[in-house]
Amino acid sequence: MSPAPTTMSSCAELRSSRRALRAEQATVRWWRRLVQARLDLAVAGIAMPGPLGEAIALLPVGAPCPEPPRHSELHCATRGGLSLAESSQLPALRNLDERLARYEHSVCDALAQVTEDLIQALAIDPAAGLRDRPEAPRLI
């Protein structure tokens, strides 16, 4: 579902829409991070990096040189339960990430438009921002 163009008039409606769009933006960004992490894991299951420390002859004088973890340790720690079948999911994961990116872009555009509408409404009538605010609870 794509965000609809804004036709709101009151500052309260615009603020409410901004809150909803910001929450949706945070959610879609979270999903994108999860999908991208899954992509990284699927690729890592296919193409593990080589051992550490074999490609360097020596470090600059005075540089600390701790012994790197063994390749087998790194492989076991990062491989987990991944199977080579994970590679079959790469196209679907990439497609999902592209769709999430397009949706994120539309949410960001809608948020920018609502923000601009709110700024324009407040520029025309600054007091509208105070009138349209929900009443704060009264302290007793």
Per-residue pLDDT of 3-48, as tens digits, reads 444 445 689 899 999 999 999 999 999 999 999 998 888 887 777 7
Which pLDDT does position 103 carry in this prediction? Answer: 94
Q: In 3D, which of 121, 134, 125, 122 has the Cα closest to residue 6?
A: 121
Q: Give the C-alpha separation, 66 to 132, whole Å.
A: 62
Task: Decide if pLDDT at 2 tops 60.
Answer: no
From residue 82, how far is each of 1, 39, 89 by CA, in Å?
A: 33, 12, 12
Which is more confidently placed, 121 or 49? 121
**What pLDDT, in 10s, does the model give residues 63-118?**
666 777 888 887 777 665 556 566 677 888 899 999 999 999 999 999 999 999 99
Q: Are 17 and 137 in contact (CB under 8 A)?
A: no
Which pLDDT does position 4 carry in this prediction? Answer: 44
